[in-house]
Amino acid sequence: MKKLSLVLLGCIVACVAASGQQPIRFGVYGGYGFNMHSASFSELPGVPSCCPRFESGNGTGMAFGGLLNVPFTSRLSFDLRAGMNQQSGVLSAEETTGVIIAGVPKSGAFEHTIDADLTVVAAEPSVAVRVVGGLSFRAGVSAGVLIGKKYTQKEQIIKPERTATFVDGNGNDTHSRTRNESSGDLPGASQFQAAVLAGVSYDIPLTASRSLLAAPEITYTVPLTSVLANESWKVQTLRFGVALKYASVDAPPEPEAPRIQRVDTTRVPVLSMDSVRFAFGKAIEYMDTVRQGKRLQVRRMVARRDTMFVLADPAGPTASLLATAVYPDGRREEAAGISVATRFVSEALPLLPCVFFEQSSAKIPERYTRRTSGGKLLVHEEQRDPVLLHRDVLNVVGERMRKLQGSTLTLIGTADPTTEPGRCDLAQERAAAVREYLADVWMIDPSRIAIAEGVPCVPQAVTESPKEEGYMENRRVEFFASDARILEAVWCKRTTEATDISPPEIEYDPSGSTRTGIRSWALEVYQGQRRIFADSGDGAPDLVRQTLTTQDANALVDGIGLDVRYRLADSLGRLSQVIHSMPVVRDTADVEVERMSLILFDISQDRIREDARIEIMSFLAGVGAGDEVTITGYTDILGSDIYNRELSERRARTVCDFIRQVVPEANLVECFGVANTKFPAHISSYNSPEERFLSRTVQLEIHRKLSGLY
């Protein structure tokens, strides 16, 4: 070993001397090896065994250590590694024999095994040749010392299973299926271990300067020595691993950043020209970074803005506008007017019987409408937005309780079990805040408003969605009334509702306008004094598109045209404006729709509550033979798309099945679910808990042909 160390030291010195300008690298390596054992012996020295001969085995083991790479040239280098290799494995041999069981001869087999835990500390000098790019081959030797040599030996009956056992030297049954068990240090082990090796690796730079490399590698070792000094036992290893190599590499000098000059010229119109026709701007120098492929390049930029004075058109700018109607089928034509198709609608808005609270708070949120003490009676028939109606729910309930003197109300406060666990006190405080408001503002005797006690302080139908949208739904106060009229739906006045607007999009083209010397432009669309659309910009005018929504259609008034006002301003402050007018016509169909969105479902449920059954029968009581009934199921946004689709369809089918039972004469023409792909009437988002609750619904519509309308 001393001679080997001197030889290795001499090789390193020679390589360092020859390395020249190539960087010396050092680092670490690690890998996982598959060990293939070949042997030719019957027993370990001094260890009893009945094995006819051990011949093969296999195993696995780790390898790790340090490395030094010294280059001769750019392609040839010396690689020295020192580390630990595990060459463990199991030798096994099967021996066929005959056995007698209950006086009957049968075939049997013994299995002889030696489980060896072998560890070698070795040095691995080798020569590496770079073939192309980062691909290299290396070959060398491995020389080291066997420092770990534990073993375990046993012989075991493997056939027949479970029945046969060994006998001792006196012929007595040992009641054991194993014998000749032994363990300890491997006797007769050879201390010195040597092998030849070959491998392939590929260097991958981890830094731009190549100071740090990662090299995936494969190494194969063929032994020159035996594990046992006087017996044949050799171990070949196929190892997969990776090496990290580091070299202190001087960063290349920064190339001088290229100098790029950029000059812009601004044309400034003037009414009269004096001797100054051109003015140079001040040069501003700055550094700019641009990406070129995978590299970043730093540039020195010199920017200058010059001014050229030109005579302005004495007439000033000219504004011009062309309006084009754009249809879904791609058809385009001059926008001659706006047509809105409408129908008569009567509908009932559901009253959501609860108030939602913020986390850890018992204060009624600001979004709920507050009224002064002794509030006036309300008129809700004009309200067509169920969300805004819900925000007035305290006053609707208060007004109805004041009218129905014999009615009582029970409040159940709840807390979210995830963000407010065990806060039953908070749930009671929330219920008390609601009772206090009804008593103070609507003069309701507190004895008529009970706060439920001894009930769970989490909702009976808890929302289990593990995110804030689900948690906020569980922070609420629920209302239960002795008189169903307290919480019944609100019927809105008969009104018209837009079903279609044509064209759905208008394109405004200002290309005929003055484009030079323009400072700003603005486009505004008015109906009477009400502005319904606006857009603006700096510089030359752009093409503008206006999309007309259902909300716009409902707001447009019949007989009052749209005025499109387009205005230009040039750099001298001179203005030009053009107005394009389009008539608005609303056409009402001879069909009236009665709509009810009262079927409020618990989360993930499709069961119709008893109060909803009564509402359905009451709603369909006057359905005629020529009337058509449509049923549409909805969900909120919680849950997957597939689950919500199936849930909305189940809700719609449940309602349809109920209608077929109780109102068989109803003409059901549609019964389907749209999940959350479409909002229910008047709902525009799922942001608040009330919007999500109001979306768990089935909408019933009666389409009735009107007679004598025209």
Share of the chain above pLDDT 90, in %: 46
Closest to 316 measured CA to CA, from 610, 664, 572: 572
Which helix (H) or strand (E) segment is 3 a member of?
helix 2-18
Q: What is the model's pLDDT at position 5?
A: 54
Give me the helix-helix angle, 393-403 and 424-442, nearest 10°.
60
Contacts of 41 (CB under 8 A, 6+ apart): 53, 54, 228, 231, 232, 233
Burial class (CB in 10 A: 0-12, 13-18, 19+), 397: buried
Residue 466 tokens, joined: 């593990």
Cis (ω within 30 of 0) for the bond into 216?
A: no
Average pLDDT across the chain, whole number: 85
Greater confidence (477 vs 462) lies with 477
CA–CA distance, 534 with 540 (Å, rounded to integer): 17
- Give the number of other Cβ atoms within 10 Å of residue 623's Cβ: 18
pLDDT above 80 (res 16) = no
Q: Is 276 helix (H, G, I), strand (E, B) or coil?
A: coil
Whether the CB-CB separation of 350 and 697 falls below 8 Å is answered with yes
pLDDT above 70 (res 256) = no
Whether the CB-CB separation of 486 and 395 falls below 8 Å is answered with no
Mind listing the pLDDT tens digit for each residue in 152-162? Answer: 999 888 888 77
Mind listing the pLDDT tens digit for each residue in 667-705? Answer: 899 999 999 888 888 888 888 999 988 888 898 988 888
Q: What is the model's pLDDT at position 194?
A: 94
- Which is it for the CA torsion 420, 421, 425, 430, positive or negative? positive
Mind listing the pLDDT tens digit for each residue in 164-175? Answer: 777 766 767 777
- Max Cα separation, the chain? 133
Burial class (CB in 10 A: 0-12, 13-18, 19+), 708: exposed
495-588 CATH choice from 2.30.110, 2.60.40, 3.90.660, 1.10.3470: 2.60.40
Q: What is the model's pLDDT at position 311?
A: 65
Whether the CB-CB separation of 343 and 588 falls below 8 Å is answered with yes
Radius of gyration over alpha carbons of the chain, in Å? Answer: 45
pLDDT above 80 (res 258) = no
Q: Does domain 351-488 have CATH number 3.40.800.10?
A: no
Which helix (H) or strand (E) segment is 411 a member of?
strand 409-413
- Give the number of other Cβ atoms within 10 Å of residue 347's Cβ: 24
Greater confidence (133 vs 423) lies with 423
pLDDT above 90 (res 216) = yes
Whether the CB-CB separation of 83 and 121 falls below 8 Å is answered with yes
Instruction: Using the structure block, give the residue that is written with the tokens 């219920």.
Output: 431
Mind listing the pLDDT tens digit for each residue in 57-103? Answer: 999 999 999 999 999 888 899 999 999 999 999 999 888 877 667 66
Same fold: 351-488 with 495-588: no
CA–CA distance, 341 with 502 (Å, rounded to integer): 8
Which parts of 436-494 are beta strand (E)? 449-451, 476-481, 490-491
597-705: CATH number: 3.30.1330.60
Q: What is the model's pLDDT at position 623?
A: 85
CA–CA distance, 112 with 94 (Å, rounded to integer): 6
Residue boundaries of the structural domains of the chain: 2-246, 259-311, 351-488, 495-588, 597-705
- Averaged pLDDT, 459-471: 85
Q: What is the model's pLDDT at position 312?
A: 63
AA letter at 128: A
Rounded to two decimals, the pTM is 0.48
Name residue 222's beta-bridge partners: 196
In Å, what is the CA distance from 609 to each residue of 594, 615, 709?
Answer: 22, 10, 38
